[in-house]
Structure 1
Amino acid sequence: MAETPLPNSTFLRPDFFTLTGIPGLEGVQAWLTLAFGPMYLLALLGNGALLAIVWIDSTLHQPMFLLLAILAVTDLGLATSVAPGLLVVLWLGPQPLPYAVCLTQMFFVHALTAMESGVLLAMACDRAVAIGRPLHYPILVTKARVGYVVLALALKAVAIVVPFPLLVARFEHFQAKTICHTYCAHMAVVELVVGNTQANNLYGLALSLAVSGVDILGITASYGLIAYAVSQLPTWEARAKAFGTCSSHICVILAFYVPGLFSYLTHRFGRHTVPKPVHILLSNIYLLLPPAFNPLIYGARTKQIRDRLLESFTFRKSQF
């Protein structure tokens, strides 16, 4: 069987790719740093403060808050894997990125996204046990078991995302050296490949459905159990209090999955109708919005964390 001839304008695997930023918005993309810069700063300060509070306050060394700390670590990693390069590209224009660094960024972005989705599922299961079986909660949900769950989620995220850079690394020829994006997204790099990319496309679709689809089903099932348990409580006050413990988690779920699903659907089914700048903006918002807003949500709606923050500020004021 004869090999398919390569196009005339092809390049051997480049040492560097060039990230262009947001095509079509070159004249105004520097102004976008005024939005993405504060989001990244908020992610750093907010998640850092959450981690410090959970670390310092021994009363917060409980499964629920340990999962929240893992979510904060994941958010810090996710925001940092994207935001610094994004801000440089938006402010200074197209930037070179070594090939190996590109594949590394690709791995971390997708692995941390999968990890965040898994942690949200674990938090939903934690709330389901706490509300559905409160007397057995201390026995069923221990710090050791939380550690095992987090380790399993991390290993799963690594295992399912490793094929992404490997599937790209097998190609030797590329149509261009320029990535029309702000970071090395898997499909943005695959678009430059010369060769049969069906495996990349199918694995990307399968991974999106397997990770987000399974986690969303698990979260939905957990909240179904929560709703049933809440409905069995005798008074409206008890029901409101029980369901109120889930309000922060529900807001975080919406902040993560709504932009993510919108970005995914427009990329998969609106590639020819939705302008490319919109795709790129949505993908960046999807990666930076949850890390920026999760600490605010938990800080405002979780009594223990809110009280600890107020105590810290009150103590500092009393020193001056």
Structure 2
Amino acid sequence: MTNSEAPILSPANHTGFTPSSFILVGIPGLEMYHIWFAAPLSFMYIVTLVGNCFLLLSVKTVRSLHKPMYLLISLLSFSDMVLSSSILPKMLAIFWLNDVEISFAACFFQMFLMHVFAGVESGILTAMAFDRYVAVCNPLRYPTIVRNSLIPKIAAISLSRAVLVVVPQSLLAIRVPFCSRSIVHSFCEHIAVVKLSCTDISLNSAYGMGITLAVAAMDLPSIGVSYALILRAVLNLPRKDRFKAFSTCISHICVMSLFYIPIAFSLTLHRFHTSIPLYVHIIVVNAYLLLPLVANPLIYGARMAEIRQGVFQLFQKQKDRLCLCK
């Protein structure tokens, strides 16, 4: 029997066990099309890694980019790389090679990393909104309020908050007895794993939904207020200066929209999942996790002239070094 044919045990007939590994089904009902998902996912992963590597190298090597806004973008790029690398390699192994088995420890580590760095991204996006608010509404005080030394503190706070809320979720999930090891998903998503339990998972489900809503309730109002104040300040400027002032925020608004809107859509699907095919829900979950990771470096690279110039300078330095070697 192959891994993909592993039996799904009935909760009614078993009291539970702790499996040494799980089986990731992929996208249920579309298994025959997995190979068609593999190619675009591979392209997305390459774009994510290459794009974010260029962003990080540009900010690190170009002195003019050693500013809070670009350091925050670097934090977001690093988080994108960790988040994508926690999910996509195994997903690609499933779709390309039918390598559907994942160890118990690896599954929970993937789940932990995914939820932690999704929370980190939300915290960074909130900090980026505050950064733009100060830059537009209090430009004279910007150098004293938002300093480079503030960025490591933002990173530490975002990471600490995410870990503090995700650790209890992981501990609740890891202690449940399982009656099956076939996860009907393409990665170890929290609710998909705990649904394999033989016991009541209402606490797990409520906590998972609760922390998502709690983080959103903390971050989204802060982002909304920041951009409302930015909009008010921009509208008070002379007409010729409005676009220039607001254009610095367009990239951030695009990134935040890509991050939060699909999450809201996914939560809506989860709430009304009985009337929607399961494969649709899983495709949407994959999209809300992966599309922002691909889009972020493209958006910042295309919208921000300073970053484009930084990438160009990076290429120029490498070209000069090659010429010297010859």
Interval containing the TM-score (normalised by the shorter chain): over 0.9
Determine if contact 1:18/1:95 at 8 Å carries over to the other structure.
yes
RMSD of aligned residue pairs (Cα, Å)? 1.6
Residues 110-189 of structure 1: pairs in structure 2 closer than 5 A: 110-171=115-176, 173-189=177-193
Match status 1:243 vs 2:246: yes
Letter in 1 for 2:132: R
Cα shift at 1:214: 2.2
2:108 maps to which residue? Answer: 103
Q: How many residues align?
A: 312
Q: Percent identity?
A: 41
Q: Is the 8 A contact 1:37 1:87 kept in 2?
A: yes
| Distance in 2 separating the partners of 1:316 and 1:142 | 30
Q: 2:94 aligns with which of 76, 84, 89?
A: 89
Contact 2:55 2:311 in 1 (8 A): no
Compute the displacement of 1:315 (Å). 6.2
Q: CA deviation at 1:239?
A: 1.2
For 1:140, give the aligned amino acid: I
Structure 1: distance between partners of 2:230 and 2:245: 9
Q: Matches of 2:264 and 2:194 in 1, distance apart?
A: 21
Deviation at 1:134, TM superposition (A): 0.3
Question: 1:304 matched to which residue of 2?
Answer: 306
In structure 2, what is the Cα distance between the partners aligned to 1:93 and 1:280? 18
| CA distance in structure 2 between the aligned counterparts of 1:229 and 1:104, rounded to whole angstroms | 45
* Aligned mate of 1:259, from 255, 262, 280: 262
Residue aligning to 2:5: none
User: 1:273 is matched with which residue?
Assistant: 275
Distance 1:315 1:143, change over 3 A: closer
SS of the residue aligned with 2:273?
Answer: coil
Q: Which of 280, 285, 288 is 1:286 aligned to? A: 288
Q: 1:59 to 1:82 in 2, by over 3 A?
A: same
- Pair 1:24-2:29 in alignment: yes
**CA displacement at 1:316 relative to structure 2:** 6.1
Which secondary structure state, in structure 1, belongs to the residue aligned with residue 107 of structure 2?
A: helix
Residue 304 of structure 1 deviates from its aligned partner by 0.5
State TM-score, norm by structure 1.
0.93
Whether the aligned pair in 1 keeps the contact of 2:58 and 2:314 (CA below 8 Å) is no
Q: How far did 1:42 drift?
A: 0.4
Deviations 1:98-121 (A, max 9, x none): 111111111100111011111111
Question: 2:213 corresponds to which residue?
Answer: 209
How far the C-alpha of 1:93 sits from its partner, in A, is 2.2
Instruction: Report the alpha carbon displacement of residue 94 of structure 1 after superposing the two structures with TM.
Output: 5.2
User: Residue type of the partner of 1:302?
Assistant: M
Residue number in structure 2 paired with 1:3: none
Unaligned runs of 5+ in 1: 1-5
